[in-house]
């Protein structure tokens, strides 16, 4: 995590530094990203970098956790707007990702994720861990709209939902056909909402032979 020295910087200087880091990680995979390039673009001495972060991994982790936290804050806002309807809020979130494709910061953040698929995922998982998600969101979700047998199942449901939501957010945010992305996402949500097991399945072949 950043040091107090970093947080005590004027906001404009903090954002200039983070913008430089975001741009570097968006242009190159983590392994190729250069601290020298980041500090050169940010206009700070190399020694200052190590007063802010312990190393490149520390900076990368902070950027990813900050991004994940921003997504959670947006989801909370949408849950409030949709009166606790989790499925409606997630749908709006994906729709807005398409609209956000015009924003430079969002495009860069998505590119950072795409450049580093499978790298340092613990940073995001720590923020989006099922039970941590449930603890953050339970006060905003209308549980009466969900078919939960136990309250503890909310974390697992969120884990499943984020498994299809995260790729949809990335696809919508890169500026492609966001309409097609949203349409496919709605189909996936509808499948999850109705369930995939038939309500009255036919008897298994083994059962029929016993009769």
> Residue 124 pLDDT > 60, yes or no?
no
Q: What is the pLDDT of residue 142?
A: 96
pTM for the complete prediction? 0.79
Q: Which residue has the higher pLDDT, 206 or 87?
A: 87
For residue 207, what pLDDT is reported? Answer: 57
- Please give the Cα distance from 33 to 56 (Å, whole number): 9
Q: Tell me the three state secondary structure of residue 84.
A: coil
* Averaged pLDDT, 53-76: 89
The pLDDT value given to residue 55: 94
- Sole residue written with tokens 């989801």: 75
- Comparing 161 with 123, the larger pLDDT belongs to 161
Mean of pLDDT over the chain: 85
pLDDT at 107: 72
| Token pair of 71 as six digits | 């997504």
* CA quadruple 53, 30, 185, 147: dihedral sign: negative
Nearest to 53 by CA among 105, 11, 10, 17: 17
Judge contact between 174 and 110, C-beta under 8 A. yes
In whole angstroms, give the CA distance from residue 196 to residue 199: 9
Q: Which whole number is the average pLDDT over 84-105?
A: 83
Instruction: Report residue 201's pLDDT band, with 50, 70 and 90 as the boundaries.
Output: confident
Q: Which residue has the higher pLDDT, 204 or 184?
A: 184
Residue 75 pLDDT > 70: yes
Cα three-residue angle 94-97-100, rounded to 5 degrees:
160
Q: Which residue has the higher pLDDT, 25 or 130?
A: 25
- The pair phi, psi for residue 111, each rounded to 5°, is -65, -35
- Of residues 204 and 65, the one with the higher pLDDT is 65
Where are the domains positioned within the chain? 57-194
How confident is the model at residue 110, as a pLDDT? Answer: 76
Q: Measured on CA atoms in the order 64, 69, 75, 77, is the torsion positive or negative?
A: negative
Sign of the CA dihedral running 106, 110, 115, 120 = positive
Give 63-72 pLDDT, tens digit per residue.
Answer: 888 888 888 8
Let me know: does 98 contact 172? Beta carbons within 8 Å.
yes
Q: Among 105-109, 180-184, 196-200, where is mean pLDDT lowest?
A: 105-109
């Amino acid at each position: 995590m950043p040091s107090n020295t970093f947080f005590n910087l004027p906001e404009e200087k903090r954002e200039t530094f983070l913008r430089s880091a975001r741009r570097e990680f968006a242009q190159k995979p983590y392994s190729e990203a250069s601290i020298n390039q980041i500090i050169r673009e940010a206009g700070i001495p190399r020694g200052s970098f190590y007063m802010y972060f312990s190393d490149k991994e520390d900076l990368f982790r902070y950027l990813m956790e900050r991004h994940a936290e921003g997504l959670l804050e947006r989801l909370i806002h949408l849950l409030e707007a949709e009166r606790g309807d989790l499925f409606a809020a997630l749908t709006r979130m994906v729709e807005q990702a398409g609209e956000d494709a015009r924003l430079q910061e969002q495009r860069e953040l998505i590119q950072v994720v795409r450049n580093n698929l499978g790298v340092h995922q613990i940073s995001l998982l720590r923020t989006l861990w099922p039970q941590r998600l449930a603890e953050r969101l339970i006060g905003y979700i209308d549980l009466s709209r969900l078919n939960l047998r136990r309250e503890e199942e909310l974390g697992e449901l969120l884990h499943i939902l984020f498994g299809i939501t995260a790729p949809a957010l990335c696809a919508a945010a890169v500026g492609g056909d966001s309409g097609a992305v949203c349409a496919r996402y709605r189909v996936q949500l509808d499948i999850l909402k109705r369930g995939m097991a038939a309500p009255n399945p036919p008897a298994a072949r083994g059962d029929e032979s016993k009769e």
